Amino acid sequence: MSGNLFDGLPVGVQGAERIDTLCARPGVRIERIVSTGQSSPPGFWYDQPNDEWVALLSGSATLRFTDEDAPRTLQPGDWIFIPAHRRHRVDRTDTDVASVWLAVHLNPPD
């Protein structure tokens, strides 16, 4: 398997984020997520059952965590490890440039 993370990016603001699974194996799933101005719905918080490592490759975004007072602004090259059940949301993604994320979802061993 091979490819380019920037192939097939949408142009302009689209209706929904695009999520492509690049590789999935027992215990791990790697996704490319393309955001074009999307954010989490008002009052919505992710509370994922698994750990996630995510890097922003292009664009910009703002993440908010329930256990932090201030949001985090991410620029290309920034990455963050989000432990399972750490509540978070996406406050904003870039509306001018596609925000391309590389997300690695880690499942606990059985």
CATH number of the domain that residue 47 is part of: 2.60.120.10
pLDDT digits (tens, 9 = 90+) for 77-96: 999 999 999 999 999 999 98
pTM summary value: 0.89
Distance CA 43, CA 6 (A): 31
Q: Is residue 5 part of a domain?
A: no
Cα–Cα distance for residue pair 105/42, rounded to 1 Å:
24
pLDDT of residue 22: 95
Q: Quote the number of domains for the chain.
A: 1
Other C-beta atoms within 10 Å of 14: how many? 14
Reported in sequence order, the residue ranges of the chain that DSSP labels E, i.e. its strands, are 18-25, 28-35, 51-58, 61-65, 72-74, 79-82, 88-93, 99-106
- What are 20-68's pLDDT values in tens digits? 999 999 999 999 999 999 999 999 999 999 999 999 999 999 999 999 9
Angstrom distance (rounded) from CA 87 to CA 47: 5
| Assigned domain for 6 exists | no
Q: With left for phi above 0 and alpha for psi between -120 and 50, is residue 8 left, alpha or beta?
A: left
Residue 31 lies in a domain: yes
Indicate whether 35 belongs to any domain: yes
Judge whether 3 lies within some domain.
no
Structural domain contains residue 13: no
Confirm whether 26 is domain-assigned.
yes
CB atoms within 10 A of CB 69: 6
Confidence of residue 9 (pLDDT cuts 50, 70, 90): confident
pLDDT given for residue 13 in this prediction: 59
Task: With respect to residue 41, please indicate whether it lies within any of the assigned structural domains.
Answer: yes
Q: Which position has the token pair 């007072």?
A: 69
Rounded to whole angstroms, the Cα distance separating 109 from 54 reads: 20
Domain with 26, as residue range(s), is 18-106
71 and 64 Cβ atoms separated by less than 8 Å: yes
Q: What is the pLDDT of residue 8?
A: 86
